[in-house]
Amino acid sequence: PNISLVLKQFKKLSKLHSMLLVEGMGGIMTPILQDYFVTDLIKDMKLSTVIVTRTRVGAVNHTIMTCMMCEKYKIPIKGIIINNFDVDGYRVKELKRDLENLTPVSVLGSIPFIDDMSDHSLYRIFKKNIDFKSLLS
C-alpha cells in the first residue's frame, strides 16, 4: 500500500466531513508494511482510538495488551466497546467490570448480536447501547 496516498486521501476526507471512522484492520499491532503498523497509521493521522473487544475467552488479555500498546505509542483511547457477538465466553456485565478494573479505560457500552442491519435498526441499537457523549467528546 502507498501510505502517503492513504494519508493524502484521509486529509481530503477530513476536510469534507466533520467526523471520520477509520477501521483498524485487525488490531493495533497489525503490520501494514514491513516496518509500518496500524499504530503508525493512527499516529500519522493524529487520531484517538476506540478498542472493540469481543466476549470470548482471551478478550481481557487482548484488551489489556491493546491498552498497553496504545499507552506505549501515546495513542489516546476514547473507550472500549464490547462486541457481544460470541455465544460462549464472558457475560457482558462481568467483562465490563473486569475491563474497567484492569485498564484505565471506560467501557462505552456493548453491542448485541444484530440480525437487522438496516440503518434504522443500527441507529436504534447503537443509540440505546453506546455512550455517544463520551465517544464524541
Residues (pLDDT < 70) of the chain are: none
> What does residue 82 show for φ and ψ, rounded to 5 degrees?
-95, 120
Where do we find the cell 443500527?
122
DSSP 130: B
What pLDDT does 15 receive?
97
What pLDDT does 57 receive?
86
Distance in Å from the first CA to the final CA of the chain: 32
pLDDT, one tens digit per residue, over 29-66 is 999 999 999 999 999 999 999 999 999 989 999 999 99
Q: How far is CA 19 from CA 15, 25, 54, 135, in A?
A: 9, 19, 25, 12
The model's pTM is: 0.90
Distance, CA of 4 to CA of 7 (rounded, Å): 5
Short-list 39, 46, 14, 11, CA closest to 25: 39
Distance, CA of 85 to CA of 56 (rounded, Å): 9
What angle do the packed helices 38-45 and 3-16 form, to 10 degrees? 40
Which option is the CATH number for 3-136: 3.40.50.970, 3.30.70.1350, 3.40.50.300, 3.40.50.880?
3.40.50.300
What pLDDT does 81 receive?
97
What pLDDT does 49 receive?
96
What pLDDT does 24 receive?
85
**Could you tell me which residues are beta bridge partners of residue 109?**
81, 130
For CA atoms 27, 31, 33, 35, the dihedral sign is positive
What pLDDT does 74 receive?
97
